[in-house]
Structure 1
């Protein structure tokens, strides 16, 4: 008698690239690691002296509180009044995380507007711009968005940019059986990828992101993957030792620079020439 095998429980099935990276699950081990790395990168990127920053990263971005706590005044662009964020209470070993207070705590101001068009702000209004959380990949005409970032920066001002990489785009195309499109993806000048939720994202190689920056009149300081460690590696190590998160983040921060085909997201630091 033939017995059909029992279906594999959903919790035990390997997650696809779409399930892993197209939806942020802030409670999963990998995404907790991802955002811990992002906050560490933001902290190291922030200016050394109190500055005026523009945050385009959206209401669910977790790095803005770091800038405010470090003494910077931050203007956060939100899609609507209802999107004004409420900072969650973070617990570490059962206690609220303690952030050292600077001599001057920064101010946070919410402004409703379109992060692709910054016409409400005058030229040279900000010392720095944070365009994290994949916001530039959601703006398919990314050239115009980066040109606006350059316009509102003062001479000598810096910006932190985050985009989807081609490696993520190719994984999503393969999962959705876009094989003809996948074959042309590595050589495409512009790679637009449909996501499972129906949205479209624009994916970049390191070379394309560099060209985007230089065409806007800014200069590239550095570019690297957001994370080098794979999701499976992070989850395996945290399953073995849940207390290893800080060591994993430190490993990531000290990882050697890798090419853009390692990480699913690229981050870049750029400067507007004086």
Structure 2
């Protein structure tokens, strides 16, 4: 049987899946239960939630979009895991209007902090949703990766603006409100009372390599996946990653 956490031709999520899979295995052993309670804040249509449910875990997805939650319900049903996936409308700011505190073994906060008004408040909330000993998986856009990408695309003014802006915002056409450095994300997590166990750079090279090189060169995809995995753990590459992944534990 294929590994449901193995990304299918996806350079965008490979590193996160591998880190998350290892963290889940450790949490299962520590909790003494095969099925964990997982909260996916901003989980949308279930890109992470459904594969997690296929592993046997119980996943609650909190997302502000009714359309995304409808797609989540459909995806979970098609995967045969509808009984293990619950979608509720809400956001990180009002998280405890829809879920309980201290109720989850693992919390995913992926692609949320780039949009919220108060990232520190959102991190405190997702941390408060964890049980003692629980694990936080935090994924957010990296500042340096955006600067590099804009510069390599020839948008030098936008690259400079992103570099100078404390939020990493490059202009009116920027779809994100803010981006982060690894130090900023680790600081938010630490201030919320968690101990950071690992920081990984995500999509260090994947967004910079022309697709034609990956699609038509034999073995190129696997080689690039291996390169991404190797670079992800090296702090020197965190500053140019498109995204940053922080793994942390609650005492």
TM score, norm. by length of structure 1: 0.70
Match of 1:9 in 2: none
From 133, 139, 158, the equivalent of 1:162 is: 139
For residue 33 of structure 1, what is the aligned residue in structure 2? Answer: 11
Residue of structure 2 equivalent to 1:6? none
RMSD: 3.4
Cα shift at 1:140: 3.7
1:113 to 81, 87, 90: 90
Match of 1:263 in 2: 241
Distance in 2 of aligned mates of 1:66 and 1:264: 23
Deviation string 1:127-153 (CA, Å, 9 cap, x unpaired) is: 110111x21122241000000011111
Rounded to whole Å, the distance in 1 between the matches of 2:21 and 2:159 is 40
Q: Structure 1, residues 175-220: CA drift from partner, whole Å, max 9, x if none?
A: 37357745634xx4xx251566564422111111111111111110
Secondary structure of residue in 2 paired with 1:201:
coil
Superposed counterparts of 1:159-238, under 5 Å: 159-171=136-148, 175=155, 177-178=157-158, 181-182=161-162, 184-185=164-165, 188=166, 191-194=167-170, 197=173, 199-233=175-209, 235=211, 236-238=213-215
Can you give the 5+ residue segments of structure 1 that lack an aligned partner in the other structure? 1-30, 91-98
Displacement after TM superposition at 1:166 (Å): 1.4
CA displacement 1:215-234 (0-9 Å, x = unmatched): 11111011111133343447
Residues 196 and 68 (structure 1), Cα distance of their counterparts in 2 relative to 1, 3 Å cut: farther
Q: Does 1:126 align with 2:111?
A: no
| Residues 16 and 202 in structure 2, CA contact (< 8 A), matched pair in contact too | yes
Equivalence map 1:88-107=2 (5 Å): 107=84
State the secondary structure of the residue aligned to 1:34: coil
Distance in 1 (alpha carbons) for counterparts of 2:186 and 2:128: 18
Q: Larger radius of gyration, structure 1 or 2? A: 1
State the partner residue of 1:74: 59
Task: Give the aligned partner of residue 55 of structure 1.
Answer: 40
Give 3-state SS (helix, strand or coil) of 2:235's partner: coil
| 1:65 equivalenced with 2:50 (yes/no) | yes
Aligned to 1:161, what secondary structure does the other structure show?
strand
Say which of 63, 71, 75 aligns to 1:87.
Answer: 75
- TM-score of the two chains, using structure 2 as the length reference: 0.75
Alignment length (residue pairs): 227
